[in-house]
Amino acid sequence: MVYLDHAATTSVRPEAIADMTEEFGHLGNASSLHGAGRRARRAVEESRETIADAIGAAPNEVVFTGGGTEADNLAVKGLYWARHQADPARRRILVSAVEHHAVLDPARWMADHQGAVYEELPVDGFGRVRPEALREAIERDPADVALVSVMWANNEVGTVQPIRELAAIAREYAIPFHTDAVQAVGSEPVDFAASGVSALTLTGHKIGGPVGAGALVLARGVDPVPVLHGGGQEREVRSGTLMTPLLRGFATATRLAVEERAEHAARLVALRDELIATVRKAVPDIIVNGHPVDRLAGNAHISFPGCEGDALLMLLDAHGIECSTGSACSAGVAQPSHVLLAMGADAETALSSLRFSLGRGSEPDDITALGAAIGPAVERARAARSKRR
């Protein structure tokens, strides 16, 4: 098997497995006051400190969640409700047109069910939100903006956003700025305090931690209305029994991903560039999507004119090469990528694209295997499509 879908999920690091295995052997609810509970609480708080230190935050700014989608929902819904309750005029939610559905769908839901006004920020041909576009959107009526959400790095095409500039503009108008940094942590130098953002989402399973553990990092004074109610855990922002073993694995993976980031990213850039060159040699008319420089180290998003992405994916899968047509959360849905459409691609191009994403287990042999399979697969996909026309 050649696994080229690390952006969807990557293997759990052995160090994280070891910590989780040890923790699963202990008894205790971190909210209990007896000895076992206090021991579990120490493990939780040590995990919180580890993650905070890795991403440039204070421990009390880290709110644990069940993953990135929950954290995004808490940010979008909770910050909207908090702002709208304080000032009913604040109804606009500004999101980039290339956001993950974990941000887009809650924002649209708020418009459909909670009286919010949903507005997409346009992107350029590389998928970037230009700072002037955000300023223009805010200045149409700064008093009615509830929040802004722009992802740190795009999960499909890999483009990295100018987060500090965008956050600084939102801060000028005292507007909370949320960023989904799920793809960025471990690949980009993510520093919560230095970035100036109000809220940041990260999750474990993209960086060698477990599925089911994530966090929303909230700057001091940023207090969303809870989405979950119950035991009042996580400073009453996110109720629910804390998943102590998963949090230990999450913390270990985050620490190691950040410590090894520079070396790891340099290795992936070299592999990614080799992948693109290898595919282009076999299929000269490919189109590489996303920003040519400011992009995730392990991301190669490629359009294959005359092909259907789903068909090409299955042909590669038959050769043991696993990749994606886009976000794994929307896989299986035959529709053009909203990211590519927002970048100005036509529907046919958007449907002809594959995402190859590299990770810790990726090796040069994977590129060789893809190079041998991609040419014949494209020929078959194009022939099949021509017959159907």
Catalytic residues: 329
**Would you put residue 196 in left (φ > 0), alpha (ψ -120 to 50) or beta?**
left
Strand order in the sheet with 117-121: 62-65, 214-218, 199-203, 177-180, 145-149, 92-96, 117-121
Does residue 11 contact residue 208 with C-beta atoms inside 8 Å?
yes
Helix (H, G, I), strand (E, B) or coil at 121: strand
Q: 14 Cβ partners below 8 Å, 6+ apart?
A: none
Does residue 12 contact residue 252 with C-beta atoms inside 8 Å?
no
Closest by alpha carbon to 297, among 271, 315, 319? 271
- Surface-to-core class of residue 262, CB atoms within 10 Å of its CB (0-12 exposed, 13-18 middle, 19+ buried): exposed
Q: 321 Cβ partners below 8 Å, 6+ apart?
A: 2, 4, 369, 370, 373
Provide the token pair at 204: 């474990």
**φ and ψ of 292, to 5 deg:** -70, -25
C-alpha–C-alpha distance, residues 93 and 150, integer Å: 11
Could you say which DSSP state residue 41 is in? H
Does residue 247 contact residue 67 with C-beta atoms inside 8 Å?
no
Provide the token pair at 5: 């879908």
Closest by alpha carbon to 373, among 270, 290, 304? 304
C-alpha–C-alpha distance, residues 321 and 317, integer Å: 5
Helix (H, G, I), strand (E, B) or coil at 45: helix
Q: How far is CA 130 from the centre of its chain?
A: 20
- Surface-to-core class of residue 105, CB atoms within 10 Å of its CB (0-12 exposed, 13-18 middle, 19+ buried): middle
Packing angle of the helix pair 14-24, 244-259 (nearest 10 deg): 160
